[in-house]
Amino acid sequence: MIKEITAKELDIEGFINEKITEIKEIVGDGMAINALSGGVDSSTVTMLGHRALGNRLKTVFVDNGIMRQGEAGRVVDLFRDLGVKVEVIDAREDFFSAFKGITDPEEKREAVTQTFYRDVFGHIIKESGAKYLLQGTILTDVDETIAGIKRQHNVFEQLGIDPEEAFGYRIIEPLIQLRKDGVRIIGKALGLPPEIFKRIPFPGPALAARVIGEVTPERIETVRKATAVVEELLKDTGAFQYMAILHQDRVTGMRDGKRDFGQQIEVRCWDSVDARAATPTRLSFEVLEKVAGELIRSVPGIVSVTYNIAPKPPSTIEVV
């Protein structure tokens, strides 16, 4: 049973010092690999790990082909300014071949897990001689996995999986007692800029969590463009998280006076404190119309845009 530390009771300096000491003790004089995705959790872990291990921490950004527009370059530049060197690993082929033919959400999540941990990190760890992987798992990831809601991509021990046996390395999870609000506080204290510690959450399975049905490079490109539009137009809402989802079903539409059997984008925008429960943000119709207009204009093939108004539960934040 993991003991939760709430944002309210968090002793910021005490927590940071304790985690730095823990990481140092576990890794000893060896090397560790750090998995950075550019989200709030992994960015915070990167800063902790960097403080604990310095050059003995190798930070990698896995370009899995399912990240948001311009993400790899943005993450590398941002961390360079913070004094952290980030190596980009091209794993696009590995991921897209793992997704081939899969439509079931849990199978998709399992494909992400196996490709990350067995194939990509397994390979990097073997090459570098490191024995440890540092990652930003938080308590909400563990809860939802144990409850059987979703198999979060980064949870093992609590499912009875020993990463050392399964993949050949140990996993260090310094943030596992925190939820998103606590992580933001620690990230800020470690010197991350607001554009990171305030950033909306983004799931480990990335845009694959936002495509209903098969994940292909073409379908990812559609949802990536739609995501850029939704993130830009909803950034001032103050909402917890907002996203675009590509539906599987096509629907009849019309373009230039002719039938166009096109695609549907669902927009979601959530108010929440820690992702355990959430309600749809009461966006004005004006804002919704603006989002729909821009999606139709700038994302090829879209003929229908909907807004999800069901709360979590019974919805979940992501669609997969």
Cβ-based nearer residue to ligand XMP, 58 or 210 = 210
Smallest gap from residue 58 Cβ to ligand XMP (A) = 21
| Smallest separation (angstroms) from ligand XMP to the CB of 138 | 8
Per-residue burial over 18-43, b if 16 or more Cβ lie within 10 Å, else e, is: ebbeebeebbeeebbbbbbbbbbbbb
Q: Nearer to ligand XMP by C-beta: 152 or 264?
A: 152
CB contact at 8 A, 266 and 307:
yes
Distance between terminal CA atoms of the chain? 27
Of the pair 187, 205, the CB lying nearest ligand XMP is at 205
Nearest to ligand XMP of 208, 299 (CB atom): 208
Angle at 226 between CA 225 and CA 230, to 5 degrees: 125
Q: Answer whether 145's CB lies under 8 Å from 113's CB.
A: no
Least Å from the CB of residue 46 to ligand XMP: 15
DSSP assignment of 183-213:
HHHHHHHTT--HHHHTPPP--TTGGGGGBSS
User: Could you tell me the smallest distance in angstroms from the CB atom of residue 202 to ligand XMP?
Assistant: 6
Residue 147 in tokens: 């409850």
In whole angstroms, the minimum distance from the beta carbon of 246 to ligand XMP comes to 16
- The three-state secondary structure class of 278 is strand
Determine how β-strand 258-271 pairs with β-strand 241-246: antiparallel
Phi-psi region of 202 (alpha: psi -120 to 50; beta: other; left: phi over 0): beta
Instruction: Please name every residue paired with 211 in a beta bridge, in sequence order, or none if there are none.
Output: 246
* CB closer to ligand XMP, 209 vs 246: 209
Shortest Cβ 272–ligand XMP spacing (Å): 8
List contacts with ligand XMP (CB under 6 A). Answer: 140-141, 144, 150, 152-154, 201, 203-205, 209, 241, 275, 312, 316-318
Q: Which is nearer to ligand XMP, 94 or 141 (CB)?
A: 141
Which is nearer to ligand XMP, 110 or 260 (by Cβ)? 110
Q: Which amino acid is at 226?
A: A
CB-wise, 39 or 122, nearer to ligand XMP? Answer: 39
* Angstrom distances, CA of residue 55 to CA of 58, 120, 122: 7, 21, 20
Distance of closest approach, residue 24 Cβ to ligand XMP, in angstroms: 25
State the minimum distance, in angstroms, from the CB of residue 261 to ligand XMP.
Answer: 29
- Answer whether 272's CB lies under 8 Å from 317's CB: yes
Alpha carbon distance 131, 186 (integer Å): 26
